[in-house]
Amino acid sequence: MKLQNYALGKWIDGDGDGAPLFNAINGQQIALATSKGLDFGDMMHYARTKGGQKLRKMTFQQRGQMIKALALFLHKNKDKYYPISYQTGATKGDSWIDIDGGIGTLFAYASLRKQFPDEAYYVDGEAASLSKTGSFIGHHIMVPKRGVAIHINAFNFPIWGMLEKVAVNLLAGVPAIVKPATITSYLTEAMVKDIIKSGILPEGSLQLICGSARGILDHVTSQDIVTFTGSAETGRMLKSQPKILSEAVPFNMEADSLNCSVLGPDAVPGTPEFDLFVKEVRKEMTTKCGQKCTAIRRVIVPENLVEDFQIALGQQLAKTTIGDPAVQGVRMGALAGKVQVEEVRERVEQLLKTSSLVYGDLDNFEVTGANKEDGAFLSPLLLLQPDPYKNQDVHNIEAFGPVSTIIPYKTLDDAIELANMGKGSLCCSIATADDNIAKEYVLGAATHHGRILVLNEESAKESTGHGSPMPLLVHGGPGRAGGGEEMGGKRGVMHYLQRCAIQGSPTTLTKITNVYQPGAKQTEKPIHPFRKHFEELEIGETVITHKHTVSEADITNFANVSGDNFYAHMDATSLEGTIFEQRVAHGYFVLAKAAGLFVDPKKGPVLLNYGLEECRFVKPVYPGMTIGVKLTVKEKVDQEKKSEEDIAKGIVKFLVDVYDETGETVAIATILTMVKKINQD
């Protein structure tokens, strides 16, 4: 069987025979893969002109709903991918990380749409005043890039590696070309075939290359984005391609690194943290046969606990049954292929020149349900490096398999230095019940790590563990780890957006951003905004209220109702040395009175007060001062119906500007109201 490529809106067989792909368990050939005959330039043009145009016209809300629909579709069909995953050497647990984890990332990014406007672009940050009178301001907007995301993925997670990347670029409004590692691309192809068949994504928003993508970077432009997951050596080679440099193409690299885990000095045998540490190291050594970019390669342990830890971990590793993932009781499958086994063996032999093997055997181990010679099997291997400052191979050589090395340390400063000798890692962890130790370690090691997990009994039940990147947190690391960041919630989405500074009058920028900018023209209408439905309200629409003169009785009555008897409000004799000239009105009285002035009390489309985003009390209000309110429609955020019975509605943000008799602002806030729509479909 020959794998197909999806390009230019159709499934295409590559020319020639292609590279043979093998079952990692029994060594039998599964398929052939080749991309020969594909025109990468045409594929990129197709993505930009077809998928890109359609995605850019969609709002963040629409893109998020699209991703949610895709996640639901794949979740419904996920069971069909597990048998295929087993052929990569993955156990059911390994496959769950890849398949369910990838689909879970789609769900996470679908939910992230709620942090973006119902627009095709994003307004970033606050406006900047650029003139004395406020007639000239600046702001930032972010728009989808007009290129294509090229994802060059690693072999260890054929599904998660694709979905965790495309979830982000699709939400941003950018199409993708996915190039999975050839050796496990048959699993990626199976899922992409279902994605295309579903019809959920606009045509041109996703293309697939099964086979070599050599030469694709010759076609990039400054609007494209390249992401790479794999070895640091390959990543550096790709990053230095002439077109990447000349076009200043963003290149996000997530490279394999020498991640570490530290046993805190307080986590002695008998403590929950010691047991958690042993469990975590065992899990990271055996999950996916250690073929994880986040796997623990260096185990940094207090020198007086090395023997206790070595014995405890050896006992746990001895329970690890190696073999066919389809056989009940097997806890570790095979590496992705025999080439990977040979690479790991070669790296282990290099490490053993200065380290000793304290658990496992390169040749003598049992395999359940399979022939050891046919499959890509390897035993968990635990090494010991007693002198990690003199023998630094442990900080430079990575065996990308079920291999870890114990490193002793004397003090916490010692542990931090050893951790940082990895020259940049995706992640590290520390097991400690002492928060002071945790703080000292984190602040010392954060410079060299993209993520740090603090593991203790309190967090253990819900902790996702050392090796699990989370969709809303960045995944990447400095130095050897590549210097890139993936996912990261909104941060990841912005990687695919172009930030542009815009300058002009507040009125002009209000029109451009569709968010009211202070100082812009306000429009008074004969009908109060609380009498209007969501669709009828216009940005900049303003109501100017009646006024109220604040009295001492107001202050006393509010203190009685609220229970707030702070001296500045109630004791005029205590004001010496303060900024106040006399008893001052409560800030929340000013805001409450403002609401009393601007609220239209009759029943109407406004369903409820949804909350308060921003509030500042900028000038004291004393008895005798007169306040009024300008209530302006600042922004409108559409909301989706949760069910057929749900009320169709949206959130309207109002700018509340409370001013005094001199016209100066005394308080300013943004309130949110939930407003019913006219159209209930």
**Residues with active-site annotation:** 254, 293
Look at residues 426, 422, 360 and name the one whose alpha carbon lies nearest to residue 388: 422
Identify the residue whose tokens are 């002071």. Answer: 436
Residue 10 CA: distances (Å) to CA of 148, 169, 182: 18, 21, 20
How is residue 27 written in tokens? 């060594």
List the one residue out of 157, 217, 192 whose CA is nearest residue 6.
192
Closest CA to 514 of 524, 530, 502: 502
Hey, what's the torsion of the CAs at 430, 432, 434, 438, to 10 degrees? 0
Q: Where are the beta strands (DSSP E) in 512-659?
A: 523-524, 541-544, 548-549, 606-617, 626-638, 649-659
* CB-based contacts of 517, cutoff 8 Å, min separation 6: 127, 137, 139, 506, 507, 509, 510
206 token code pair = 């996703």
- Hey, what are 239's tokens? 């990053």
The type of residue at 188 is: T
C-alpha to C-alpha distances, 535 to 177, 378, 507, 638, nearest whole angstrom: 38, 63, 21, 10
DSSP designation for 393? G
Note whether 277 and 267 are within 8 A (CB): yes
Coil/strand/helix, residue 460: helix
DSSP element (H, E) containing 208: strand 206-208
Q: Are 348 and 381 in contact (CB under 8 A)?
A: yes
